[in-house]
Copies of this chain bind each other. A is one copy, B any other.
Amino acid sequence: MATDLPPFLAACRGQAVPYTPVWFMRQAGRSLPEYRARRGPGSILDAVRDPALAAELTLQPVRRYGVDAAVLFSDIVVPVIDFGVDVAPGTGPVVEKPFRDAKDLDRLRPVPAPFVEEALRLVTAELSHLPEPVPVIGFAGGPFTLASYLVEGGPSQGFAKAKALMWSEPDLWAELMQRLAEITLASLRAQVAAGADAVQIFESWGGALSPADYRRYVWPALHHVVSGLEPQQVPRIVFGVGAGELLADFARAGADVVGVDWRVPLDEARRRVGPGVGVQGNLDPTACFAPWPVLAEQARAVLAVAGRRGHIFNLGHGVLPATDPDQLARLVELVHTETARSRDDASA
Binding site for B on A (CB under 8 A): 157-160, 163-164, 167-168, 207, 209-213, 242, 244-245, 262-265, 268, 284-287, 289-291, 294, 298, 301, 320, 322
Contact = CB atoms under 8 A, between A and B. Distances in A.
Nearest to A294: B167
Contacts of A163: 284, 286-287, 289-290
Contacts of A294: 167-168
B287 A167 contact: yes
**Max chain B Cβ within 10 angstroms of own Cβ: one of A268, A289, A291:** A289
Contacts of A242: 207, 242, 263
A300 to B, nearest CB: 12
The 5 closest A-B pairs by CB, nearest first: A167-B290, A164-B289, A167-B294, A210-B262, A163-B286
**Max chain B Cβ within 10 angstroms of own Cβ: one of A157, A265, A284, A287:** A284
Given A210-B262, A210-B263, A265-B210, A291 B244 contact: no
A301 to B, nearest CB: 6
Contact of A263 (B159, B167, B244, B284): B244
Contact of A160 (B164, B262, B264, B286): B286
Nearest to A167: B290
A298 B157 CA distance: 20
30 contacts: A157-B320, A159-B286, A160-B322, A163-B286, A163-B289, A163-B290, A164-B286, A164-B289, A164-B290, A167-B289, A167-B291, A167-B294, A168-B291, A168-B294, A207-B242, A207-B263, A210-B262, A210-B263, A210-B284, A211-B263, A211-B265, A213-B284, A242-B242, A242-B263, A244-B244, A244-B263, A245-B263, A245-B264, A245-B265, A245-B268
A62 B264 CA distance: 38
A285 B286 CA distance: 29
Given A157-B320, A160-B320, A210-B284, 17 more contacts: A158-B285, A158-B320, A160-B286, A163-B287, A163-B289, A164-B286, A164-B289, A167-B290, A167-B294, A168-B291, A168-B294, A207-B242, A210-B265, A211-B265, A242-B242, A245-B263, A245-B268
A301 B212 CA distance: 9
A286 B263 CA distance: 23
Contacts of A291: 167-168
A164 B158 CA distance: 26
A168 B290 contact: yes
A235 to B, nearest CB: 26
Contacts of A285: 158
A284 to B, nearest CB: 6
B244 A245 contact: yes
Nearest to A211: B265
